[in-house]
């Protein structure tokens, strides 16, 4: 059992009924995550990153249909788990840091109530112990006057303070897996660096697995073991972080890396690289490569195929071109 991944996902698919037809928001994604490992998911806005994490946590809206070939957490089949089992897992063994703190913090309760709630629910501890742990964690994520913050309500905190409260909340029970959806976007870079170091340290200490969803490729480069690039509901490229940054194979990944302003590479104020065009609709049947409409490497067969290509070291991508580049000889 020890060699088995902590989290294993095969063929995860999420369909959402809409007035215009079925939205195929997530279309068959596969990945494994070991204890102590960090997987960063990057990708286009609206590609299904948050939905994927909600699906893992069993927190999808009821109308969203989830199917998967396999979805296991430490051997437990998450698809067969009862509501009670899932509730037990959440907060205790796996926890989530949500993208928008305001939506997951309850405006009617104080920070203190919300922080101690999970601990009181899952572990047999006294109220005073729970409070002490809450203060300790708030201090760890860099919140001073932690004691008085406990009696504040979410709207009285700045964006970054709210986000750090969410991070503290996720750490309350020392989970084995943390899914963090954009955990540091509202933080300044010094606190971001400190929180990332904290997460990395805790991860080493507790052999915790971490899924980090972020748009910040700087963060990805510095903390990821594995990277998954998501586009239109698919993982279009996955692999070790060093391979993704040094040899990005999928044209979308290359486009992304080209969009970031890098001091020294871009002249101040000059235009930034973009990826022209917009994402295809995922309502109804989707065929071929979803990126073809925006791709500068497109050839005719992209309309029907986007085969999975395997490079060394577990680096994989989906493209008709064996190395992600169009060469003249490629034909059907």
Ligand X SMILES: Nc1ncnc2c1ncn2[C@@H]1O[C@H](COP(=O)(O)OP(=O)(O)OP(=O)(O)O)[C@@H](O)[C@H]1O
* Range 78-117, binding Mg ion (CB under 5 A): 99
**Helix intervals (H) in 37-126:** 49-57, 83-89, 101-104, 111-122
Q: How far apart are CA 100 and CA 183, in angstroms?
A: 9
User: Count of alpha carbons within 13 Å of 250, Cβ hemisphere only?
Assistant: 31
Positions 220 through 279 that interact with Mg ion (CB under 5 A): none
Q: Judged by CB under 6 A, does residue 50 bind ligand X? A: yes
Is residue 159 a contact residue for Mg ion (CB under 5 A)?
A: yes
**142 scored as a contact of another protein (CB under 8 A):** yes
CB-hemisphere CA count at 13 Å for 38? 22
Which of 11, 21, 159, 284 is close enough to bind ligand X by CB under 6 A? Answer: 159
Please give the Cα distance from 26 to 302 (Å, whole number).
Answer: 20
User: Pick from 179, 236, 178: which is nearest to 28 by CA?
Assistant: 236
279 binds another protein per the rule CB under 8 A: yes
Stretch that binds ligand X, among 28-36, 158-166, 259-267, 290-298 (CB under 6 A): 158-166
Position 190 contacts another protein (CB under 8 A) = yes
The CB-of-35 to ligand X minimum distance in angstroms stands at: 25
Beta bridge partner(s), residue 240? 226
- Is the distance from CB of 48 to CB of 15 less than 8 angstroms? no
- Smallest separation (angstroms) from another protein to the CB of 208: 16
Applying CB under 6 A, what is the total number of residues that bind ligand X? 20
Question: CA geometry: angle at 78 spanning 76 and 83, to 5°?
Answer: 110
Per-residue contact string for residues 167-206; x = within reach of ligand X by CB under 6 A: -------------------x--------------------
| Closest residue to Mg ion in the complex (CB) | 50
DSSP 3-state assignment of 93?
A: coil
C-alpha to C-alpha distance for 332 and 330, rounded to whole angstroms: 7
Q: Which of 263, 328, 329, 332 binds another protein (CB under 8 A)?
A: 263
Pair of tokens at residue 295: 């791709």
Q: How far apart are CA 119 and CA 50, in angstroms?
A: 25
Site string for ligand X, 91-120 (x = CB under 6 A): --------x---------------------
269 binds another protein (CB under 8 A): yes
Residue 268 as a binder of another protein (CB under 8 A): the answer is yes
Binding site for ligand X (CB under 6 A): 16, 18, 23, 25, 45-51, 61, 99, 156-161, 186
Q: Which residues bind Mg ion (CB under 5 A)?
A: 50, 99, 159
């Amino acid at each position: 059992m020890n060699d088995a991944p902590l989290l294993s996902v095969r063929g995860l698919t999420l369909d959402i009924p809409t007035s215009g037809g079925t939205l195929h928001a997530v279309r068959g994604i596969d990945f494994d995550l070991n204890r102590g490992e960090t997987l960063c998911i990057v990708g286009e806005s609206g590609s299904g990153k948050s939905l994927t994490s909600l699906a893992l946590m069993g927190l999808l809206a009821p109308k969203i249909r989830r199917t998967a070939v396999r979805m296991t957490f430490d051997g437990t089949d998450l698809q067969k788990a009862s509501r009670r089992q899932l509730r037990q897992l959440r907060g205790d063994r796996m926890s989530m840091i949500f993208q928008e703190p305001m939506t997951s913090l309850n405006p009617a309760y104080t920070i203190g109530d919300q922080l101690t709630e999970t601990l009181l629910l899952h572990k047999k501890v006294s109220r005073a112990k729970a409070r002490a742990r809450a203060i300790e964690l708030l201090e760890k994520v860099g919140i001073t006057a932690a004691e008085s913050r406990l009696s504040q309500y979410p709207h009285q905190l700045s964006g970054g303070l709210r986000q750090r409260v969410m991070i503290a909340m996720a750490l309350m029970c020392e989970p084995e897996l943390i899914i963090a959806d954009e955990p540091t976007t509202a933080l300044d870079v010094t606190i971001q660096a400190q929180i990332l170091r904290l997460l990395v340290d805790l991860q080493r200490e507790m052999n915790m697995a971490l899924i980090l969803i972020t748009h910040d490729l700087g963060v990805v480069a510095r903390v990821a073991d594995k990277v998954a690039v998501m586009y239109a509901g698919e993982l279009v490229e996955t692999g070790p972080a060093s391979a993704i940054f040094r040899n990005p194979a999928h044209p979308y990944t290359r486009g992304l890396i080209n969009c970031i302003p890098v001091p020294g590479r871009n002249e101040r104020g000059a235009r930034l690289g973009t990826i022209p065009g917009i994402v295809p609709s995922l309502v109804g049947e989707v065929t071929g490569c979803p990126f073809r409409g925006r791709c500068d490497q497109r050839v005719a067969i992209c309309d029907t195929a986007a085969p999975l290509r395997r490079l060394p070291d577990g680096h994989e991508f989906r493209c008709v071109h064996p190395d992600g580049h169009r060469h003249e000889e490629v034909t059907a």
